[in-house]
Structure 1
Amino acid sequence: MAPTKAPDSSRRSDRSRRAIHDAALALVTEVGYRRTTIEGIAARAGVGKQTIYRWWPSKAAVLMDAFLGLAGRAAEDAGAGSGSGDTGESAPGIPDTGDLAADLKLVLRATVDEMNDPALEAPTRALTAEGIVDAKLGAEFVHKLLDPQLALYVTRLRAAQEAGDVRADVDPRIALELLIGPLMHRWLLRTLPLTHAYADEIVDYAVGGLAPRA
C-alpha cells in the first residue's frame, strides 16, 4: 500500500494568505477602511482571527500587504504587455530608449491604466483617504509604495540630464512632481477623465519646461 502523502503546509499557507489578501481588499472596497475589521477579514477569508494575527500585527498591516501584492501583480502585467523588443533601461520598469518624452509617455499611460482599474482604484482611494488622517498609515503607504516608484523617475531624469536632454540645474525629485502631480489631482477630484491623451500632454508640457534653454 502506497504511503499517504503529508499535506503541503506551505501551499496551504499560501492559499490562506491569498484568501486573506482578497478578503481585505474586497472589504475595504465595499465598506471602506474604517469599517473593515480583522473579524470581517477572517470571516470572509474562511480563517480564524489567530491565523491573521500570526502573520500581521494589525488591520493596517494586512491591507498594506494585500495592496502591495495587488499593485505588484498589476505592474508585472503591465510590463508583460508593453514589451517592445530590445531597449535599454535606466532602472526596472523605466525605459531608456534615448527619447525622454516617449519613455515618460509610456510610463504615464500605464499609470493611467492602473489608476482607472476598478480593482486598484477603490483600495487605493480608501488607503489614500485614511492615510491623510492616520499619519502612521500614510507614512507607510508612501515609504513602501510611492517612494520606490518615484525613485525610478528620479533615475530616468538623471540619465536625461547626463544625456543633455534636461537642464543641469533641475532637481529630478521636484521635476517628477510635474508629471505625477497633475495625474493625482485629476484622479482625486474626478472632475475630468483620466486618459492617455491627458498623460501625453502632461509629458509634453513638462519636458518642454525641463529642456535646455536656447
Structure 2
Amino acid sequence: MDAVVKSLSARVTEVAADKPKIEKPTREEAEAAVRTLIRWAGDDPEREGLRDTPRRVAKAYGQLFAGYGEDAREILNKVFEEVEGYGDMVLVRDIPFHAHCEHHMVPFMGKAHVAYYPSAGVVGLSKLARVVDVFARRLQTQETMTAQIAEVIDEVLRPRGVAVMVDAEHMCMTMRGVQKPGASTLTTQFTGVFRQDPAEQARFFTLLRAGRS
C-alpha cells in the first residue's frame, strides 16, 4: 500500500516546548572536571591507565546524553493516514533503554511499553522506540521519563489515548544505598480513553502479558 504521509510540522511548532538555554563548557573544561573526580575518588589521573580516561568519558557523555540534542516532537512529525480504517490499539512493548538517574548519575535500565489509539493515522513503529531513547538519554527520574513519553505522543499525534509503562532496575539501589539487586520499579502514565476507562487499562495490561510463558 502506498501510504500517504502527512506532515505534522504545524503541530510540532504549536506544541514545541521551550528549552532552557544552557551554556555548555568546553571539551577541555569537561575533561578537567573528570580529572577532578578521579582525584576525589582517590586515584591519580596522570597514571597510565587513567591518562586518557577524561577524553573517553567526555566522548561517552556525548552518546549517553544525546537526548538533549534531539526533539521528540520532530521524530513524531509524520503519520501514515492510509491504514485501511485501522483505529484499534497500537502497542510496542519491550523497548529496551538505559538512562542515568539525575540524583546520583548512575544508570537505570529496563524496558518501556507504549500504546496508543490512533485518531488520524499511525506513526512509524520505530518512532516510538526513538522517542523512548530521546528521553532516556538525559539525566532523569523514571517517573518524569514515563510522563514525558506519554505527553509528547499525546501532544503531537493527538490520539484517543496513550498508555506508557516503564519497568526498570536502578543501580542507585543496587550499587549503593540499600543495595538490593533485582528490585524493579514500575511506573505508568495514561491519557485519554486509557485514563477515563479502567477497562482500557486492563486491556493494555492483558496485551502486555499476551504470548508470554
For normalisation by structure 2, the TM-score amounts to: 0.28
* Higher strand proportion: 2
* Higher helix proportion: 1
